[in-house]
C-alpha cells in the first residue's frame, strides 16, 4: 500500500505542470469564446489529443496512480483552466470508467479506444443514467432492457436526460432496468455502438454554466444491441441478480445502503473539479484586490477584503485535503465508514459556489461582466452541487452512514 503524503512526487509534479501549461495556454484563452458559442470545443479536444492529454493512456495512468492523487490532481488543473472545456475533455473518461469498472477485458479493449478515436479524428463518449423522473432517485429508472434470447440481443427503450455528450458521442454507455423488482440492483449497463439505429439525440439543453459542454436527452426507441454489449456479460449479470434477490429477501435497506456506497470512490473526482474552479476564481480575485485602487490604496488593504481572501484560500485548501483523503482511501481499499467520499464532494462543491460568488463581489462591477472570467466561473461552479449527487443527497448519504439509520 502506498504511504500517504501531502507532497506530490517529481513525476506527479511534472504531469501537473504539463496539464497546467495546457490549461493556461490553450484552455483559458479559449474559455470565453466556447462559453458564448455553447458548443463542444472540438478543436481544443483535438489539441489535447495531439499531445496525449485526451487519450485512454493518459486517463488510465492517472486512474491507476497508486497514491490515488493522479485523477484529483489532473481534474483540479483542467478545471482550473476552464470547467466547460474540461468537462468536454473528461466526459469521455466518465463513460470509460463505466466500462473499465464493469466490462470484461474484451469489452474494454473493443469499446474504450472507440470512445476516444485518435488525434486526427477525435471522438467522445457519453454515460447515460439520469432520466426525467429519475435524477437523485436512481432506483425509479424506467429505461428497460429486455433480452431477446432467440437473437442473443438486448432491446432497449426509454429516455435518458442530462447526458454529457449525449447524442454526439461515438459510444454511449446506457444504464437500464433488467429486473424492476430489485431497485438499483436490478440495473445493468450497456454499450450502444456507433450508428446503432433507434438511438437519437433529444433536446439539447441551454445551460447556466459549463456551456462548452454538450448536455442533451438521449432517446432509445427499440434499440437492439448484441448480447456482448451487456457490460460484464450475461453470466455475471445472472449471478449478480440472483445474489441481489437473496439479499433483498434478507433486508431491503441493507441493499439500498450498499448501492449508495459504490459512489463514494468516484465523488472525490468531482470535488477536485470544484477545487479547480474555486482556485481559479480565488487567484483572479487576489490579483485584482492587490491592484485595484480605491480611496488611494489597493482594496486588499481593507481587512474586509483581505479576510475574505484568507477565508477563500483556507476553504479551498481544506476542500483539497478532503478530496485527497477520499482519493487515497479509495485507492488503498479503506472502507468509507463516514462517507468520506461524499464529504469531499459536498464540501468542495459548496466551497466552489461560495468562493466564486466572493470573487465576483471582490471584482465589483467588473466581476459582474463577461470581461472578467469570474462571472463565468461563478456560473460554472453551480453545477458541482448538482451533478454526481446533489449536496442534499451527499448529506443524506453522510447522515445515513454516520447514524446507520434509513434517514429520509
Per the annotation, the verdict on 388 as an active-site residue is yes
Beta carbon nearer to ligand FAD, 154 or 162: 162
Query: Do residues 369 and 199 lie in contact, with contact meaning Cβ atoms separated by under 8 Å?
Result: no
Cα 36 to Cα 15: distance, rounded to the nearest angstrom: 30
- Sign of CA pseudo-dihedral 342, 347, 348, 349: positive
Single out the catalytic residue among 217, 264, 340, 388. 388
Query: Do residues 102 and 231 lie in contact, with contact meaning Cβ atoms separated by under 8 Å?
Result: yes
CB of 213 to ligand FAD, least distance (A): 7
Which of 148, 239, 253, 392 binds ligand FAD (CB under 6 A)? It is 392
Query: Do residues 398 and 338 lie in contact, with contact meaning Cβ atoms separated by under 8 Å?
Result: yes
> Given the rule CB under 6 A, which of 50-58, 121-129, 231-239, 316-324 is the region that contacts ligand FAD?
121-129
Which of 129, 266, 351, 356 binds ligand FAD (CB under 6 A)? It is 129
Radius of gyration for the alpha carbons in the chain, expressed in angstroms and rounded: 22
Cβ neighbours of 2 (radius 10 Å):
12
Q: Is 128 in the site for ligand FAD (CB under 6 A)?
A: yes
Query: Which x/- pattern over 365-384 shows residues binding ligand FAD (rule: CB under 6 A)?
Result: ------------------x-
> Given the rule CB under 6 A, which of 126-134, 178-186, 314-322, 345-353 is the region that contacts ligand FAD?
126-134
Residue tagged 437473496 (cell numbers): 246
> Given the rule CB under 6 A, which of 27-35, 161-169, 221-229, 310-318 is the region that contacts ligand FAD?
161-169
CA 116 to chain centre: 17
Q: Kindly write down the DSSP assignment for every residue of 122-184, as one continuous string.
A: E--EEEE--BTTBSS-GGG---EEEEETTTTEEEEEEEEEEEETTTT-SEEEEEEES-GGGGG
Q: Is 344 in the site for ligand FAD (CB under 6 A)?
A: no
- Secondary structure class of 336 (helix, strand, coil): coil
Cα 201 to Cα 290: distance, rounded to the nearest angstrom: 48
Which of 51, 321, 382, 386 binds ligand FAD (CB under 6 A)? It is 386
For ligand FAD, the binding residues in 186-215 under the rule CB under 6 A are 207, 210, 215
CA 244 to chain centre: 27
Which of 125, 244, 377, 393 binds ligand FAD (CB under 6 A)? It is 393
Beta carbon nearer to ligand FAD, 65 or 380: 380
Q: Is 164 in the site for ligand FAD (CB under 6 A)?
A: yes
Q: Is 390 in the site for ligand FAD (CB under 6 A)?
A: yes
Q: Is 135 in the site for ligand FAD (CB under 6 A)?
A: yes
Which of 59, 162, 190, 336 binds ligand FAD (CB under 6 A)? It is 162
> Given the rule CB under 6 A, which of 229-237, 308-316, 348-356, 392-400 is the region that contacts ligand FAD?
392-400
Q: Is 85 in the site for ligand FAD (CB under 6 A)?
A: no
CB of 31 to ligand FAD, least distance (A): 16
What number of residues does the chain have?
408
Beta strands in 19-152 (DSSP E): 117-118, 121-122, 125-128, 144-148
Query: Do residues 141 and 175 lie in contact, with contact meaning Cβ atoms separated by under 8 Å?
Result: yes
Question: Which spans of this chain sit near ligand FAD (rule: CB under 6 A)?
Answer: 127-130, 135-136, 162-164, 207, 210, 215, 383, 386-388, 390, 392-393, 396
Residues serving a catalytic function are 388
Amino acid at each position: 500500500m502506498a504511504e500517504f503524503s501531502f507532497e506530490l512526487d517529481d513525476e506527479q509534479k511534472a504531469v501537473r505542470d504539463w496539464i497546467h501549461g495546457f490549461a493556461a495556454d490553450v484552455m483559458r484563452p479559449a474559455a470565453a469564446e466556447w462559453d458564448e458559442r455553447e458548443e463542444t470545443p472540438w478543436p481544443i479536444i483535438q489539441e489535447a489529443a495531439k499531445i496525449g492529454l485526451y487519450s485512454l493512456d493518459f486517463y488510465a495512468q492517472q486512474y491507476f496512480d497508486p497514491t490515488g492523487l493522479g485523477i484529483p490532481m489532473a481534474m483540479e488543473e483542467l478545471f482550473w483552466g476552464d470547467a466547460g472545456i474540461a468537462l468536454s475533455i473528461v466526459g469521455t473518461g466518465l463513460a470509460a470508467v463505466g466500462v473499465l469498472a464493469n466490462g470484461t477485458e474484451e469489452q474494454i479493449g473493443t469499446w474504450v479506444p472507440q470512445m476516444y478515436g485518435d488525434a486526427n479524428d477525435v471522438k467522445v463518449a457519453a454515460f447515460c443514467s439520469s432520466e426525467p423522473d429519475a435524477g437523485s432517485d436512481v432506483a425509479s429508472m424506467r429505461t428497460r432492457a429486455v433480452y431477446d434470447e432467440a437473437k442473443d440481443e438486448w432491446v432497449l427503450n426509454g429516455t435518458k436526460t442530462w447526458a454529457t455528450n449525449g447524442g454526439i458521442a461515438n459510444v454511449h454507455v446506457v444504464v437500464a432496468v433488467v429486473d424492476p423488482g430489485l431497485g438499483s440492483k436490478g440495473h445493468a449497463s450497456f454499450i450502444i455502438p456507433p450508428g446503432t439505429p433507434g438511438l437519437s439525440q433529444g433536446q439539447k439543453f441551454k445551460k447556466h454554466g459549463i456551456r462548452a459542454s454538450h448536455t442533451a436527452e438521449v432517446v432509445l426507441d427499440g434499440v437492439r444491441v448484441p448480447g456482448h454489449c451487456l457490460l460484464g456479460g450475461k453470466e455475471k449479470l445472472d449471478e449478480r441478480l440472483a445474489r441481489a434477490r437473496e439479499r433483498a429477501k434478507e433486508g431491503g435497506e441493507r441493499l439500498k445502503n450498499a448501492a449508495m456506497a459504490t459512489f463514494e470512490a468516484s465523488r472525490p473526482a468531482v470535488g477536485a473539479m470544484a477545487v479547480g474552479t474555486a482556485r481559479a476564481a480565488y487567484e483572479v480575485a487576489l490579483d485584482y484586490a492587490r491592484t485595484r485602487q480605491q480611496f488611494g490604496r489597493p482594496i486588499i488593504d481593507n481587512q474586509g477584503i483581505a479576510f475574505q481572501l484568507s477565508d477563500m484560500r483556507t476553504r479551498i485548501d481544506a476542500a483539497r485535503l478532503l478530496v485527497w483523503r477520499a482519493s487515497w482511501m479509495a485507492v488503498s481499499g479503506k472502507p468509507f465508514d463516514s462517507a468520506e467520499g461524499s464529504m469531499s464532494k459536498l464540501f468542495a462543491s459548496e466551497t466552489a459556489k461560495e468562493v466564486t460568488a466572493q470573487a465576483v463581489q471582490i471584482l465589483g462591477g467588473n466581476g459582474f461582466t463577461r470581461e472578467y472570467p469570474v462571472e463565468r466561473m461563478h456560473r460554472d461552479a453551480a453545477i458541482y452541487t448538482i451533478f454526481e449527487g446533489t449536496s442534499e443527497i451527499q448529506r443524506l448519504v453522510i447522515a445515513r452512514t454516520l447514524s446507520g439509520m434509513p434517514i429520509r
